[in-house]
Amino acid sequence: MRVFKFGGASVSSIDRINQVAQIVRQYEDQPLLIVISAMGKTTNALEKVAESFYAERRDEALQLFDQVKQQHLTTAKYLLVKEYLACEASLVNFFTEVEWLLYDKPVRGYDYYYDQIVCIGELLSTAIMSAFLNEVDVKNTWIDVRDIIRTDDHFRDANIDWDFTQQKVDTLVKPLFAKTGIVVTQGFIGATDENESVTLGREGSDYTAAVFANMLDAESQTIWKDVEGVMNADPKKFPEAQLIAELNYAEVIEMAFYGAQVIHPKTIKPLQNKGIPLLVKCFLDPTLPGTIIHNQSISGLPPIIVVKEHQALIHLKSRDFSFVGEKTVGHLYHLFEELSIKPNLTQNGAISFVCCVDDRPDKIEQLALEASAYFDVSVEKGLRLLTVRHYTPEVLAKLVGSNQVVLQQQSPETAQVLMR
């Protein structure tokens, strides 16, 4: 059993969809579960629909949604002949699911509506992809993952009910492989026990694939991307970025923790728990070896560079000169949790505490307000956080260059520098 995940970029054009079919065709020798994301930038487009709807701009929402509809219908028309009518009927069903809602007035929280609207992207892309694979004789079965992945109702960041989902995988998914060796389903989405749609957090399809890999005891999971594999830096910012052929789970978790946009951070645990290797490969050239991520210990890694832009440094200074002890810091972390703020870097002094966070003005304002009971609060924005794993002093100095350093921390393995 293998599990493949194709991201939005791999199904963003007719050429690429053809390319995906070519790849899948080469792996028909074994049962294969394929998890697919929404096409191209569909999720972003659907986010706009949700925003307009929630702001009660119905016409705008409908108009934006119409663009998504037309794009998918055009793609389906272009790709399909025999399978067109059946596929169109499924697409129309999903359109109706959303349109129904768009004619209502919002009475619940934004995140709920977001999930009901945004989840459609994956349903549309997989309906088309599955039909196209059948059209070119790569026989497969399409399933609605909302019948399988059961979650709580933490909309936009739902948590999977592991036992329930495993039972559905055993009873509903496993038997399908006897019918067609290939099963196609959606990443990123699931459903609550009340059949409300949920999403698992942006870029969550990697995670969905890992959940299936775990529950199906797959021999491997492959994430197909438009890059060669995992690189030691973002090639868009660092043209000299190099491929890392082999990594282990722990290193990838660290990279994701520091903000590298390689793989969704939740992906690793389900794989690590069953020792399932993760392959990252390039769908543009499947002959390239890509990256393998597994349990081995690996030495000689190059410096791994992660840059986070749009950082804010919050400076908290004790008003009455009382020390910043466990109690105050505990209180602060409680606030972080309440506001879902994840500090990217913190430093504790005698009467001050500084923390660097992603610049989310609403959250920072709220934090500043609540903390001002104990502290003088000041915030500096527009900063950049550089993290280098396996750094050398030379590499670090070169990366910092002439930038002004605001805060710096290092362990033997990891250096972090916040710069102006």
In the bound state with ligand ASP, the residue whose beta carbon lies nearer, of 122 and 251, is 122
Q: How far is the CB of 204 from ligand ASP (least distance, A)?
A: 5
Binding partner of 88, given ligand ASP, Mg ion, none, CB within 5-8 angstroms per partner class: none
- # of chain residues touching ligand ASP (CB under 6 A): 12
Comparing CB distances to Mg ion, the nearer of 106 and 201 is: 201
Tell me the closest approach of the beta carbon of residue 7 to ligand ASP, in angstroms.
Answer: 6
Among 2, 3, 4, 8, binds ligand ASP (CB under 6 A): 8
**Binding pattern for the stretch 38-67 against ligand ASP, x by CB under 6 A and - elsewhere:** x----x------------------------
Q: Which is nearer to Mg ion, 42 or 248 (CB)?
A: 42
Identify the H or E element spanning 225.
strand 220-225
Among ligand ASP, Mg ion, none, what does residue 202 contact (CB within 5–8 Å per kind)? Answer: ligand ASP
**Which of 257, 162, 266 is closest to 207 using CA atoms?**
266
Residues 172-211 that bind ligand ASP (CB under 6 A): 187-188, 202-205
CA gap 234, 133 in Å, rounded:
33
CB atoms within 10 A of CB 174: 15
Q: What is the contact mask toward ligand ASP in residues 86 to 125, using x (rule: CB under 6 A)? A: -----------------------------------x----
Look up residue 153 and give its DSSP letter. Answer: S
Among Mg ion, ligand ASP, none, what does residue 265 contact (CB within 5–8 Å per kind)? none
Question: With DSSP H G I counted as helix, E B as strand and the rest as coil, what are the percentages for the chain, rounded to 5?
Answer: 40, 25, 35
Smallest distance, Å, CB 45 to ligand ASP?
Answer: 10
Q: Are 354 and 407 in contact (CB under 8 A)?
A: yes
**CB environment 33-50: b (16+ within 10 A), e (fewer):** bbbbbbbbebbebbbbbb
DSSP string, 393-410: HHHHHHHHTTPPEEEEEE
CA 202 to chain centre: 4
State the residues that interact with ligand ASP by CB under 6 A.
Answer: 7-8, 37-38, 43, 121, 187-188, 202-205
